[in-house]
Amino acid sequence: LRKNVEDFTGPRERSDLGFVTFDITADILKEKCIFDWNVKQLFLYLSAEYSTKNNALNQVVLWDKIILRGDNPRLFLKDMKSKYFFFDDGNGLKGNRNVTLTLSWNVVPNAGILPLVTGSGHVSVPFPDTYETTKSY
């Protein structure tokens, strides 16, 4: 599982809005045969976790994908833009050096327990100290 990211913050009236582009290379089958007989689908999501002055813990899902049983288990995503707006509750993204991106997934069985698994390995994304005014996204 590997991620590469590029980022910049954009100004919005009252809350910081972050823009992150990323690549994901993942080979799901390698993770000890995750698609066993009782797995219907995997709900994959990339989340950013960070702390700010306003809030001790913030988690924002940037992107998600549903992988059904039988789908191609290898992911080669490049230059992906986040699916959801990365708004902070305040201005905590500016200059934040410690934003961690992690890939996690929810295993949905045909019947039974619903576990949430966090992928090993994460990427730290430092946000710049200034706002971008006219970067096209």
- Decide: is 106 part of the binding site for other proteins (CB under 8 A): yes
What does the block give as tokens for 90? 């305040």
Q: What CA–CA distance (Å, rounded) separates 30 from 44?
A: 15
Does position 45 interact with other proteins (CB under 8 A)? The reply is yes
Rounded to whole angstroms, how far apart are CA atoms 5 and 80? 9
Of 42, 48, 56, nearest to 17 by C-alpha is: 48
Q: Which of 7, 28, 41, 125 binds other proteins (CB under 8 A)?
A: 41
Provide the 3-class DSSP secondary structure of residue 101.
Answer: strand
Q: In this complex, which beta carbon is closest to other proteins, that of residue 25 or of residue 118?
A: 118
Q: Which of 38, 78, 116, 126 binds other proteins (CB under 8 A)?
A: 116
> Shortest gap between Cβ of 57 and other proteins (angstroms)?
4
**For residue 44, what are its two tokens?**
């994959």
The footprint of other proteins on residues 64-103 (CB under 8 A) is 64, 66, 68, 84, 87, 89
CA 42 to chain centre: 15
Contact footprint for other proteins (CB under 8 A): 40-41, 43, 45, 47, 54-61, 64, 66, 68, 84, 87, 89, 104, 106, 108-114, 116
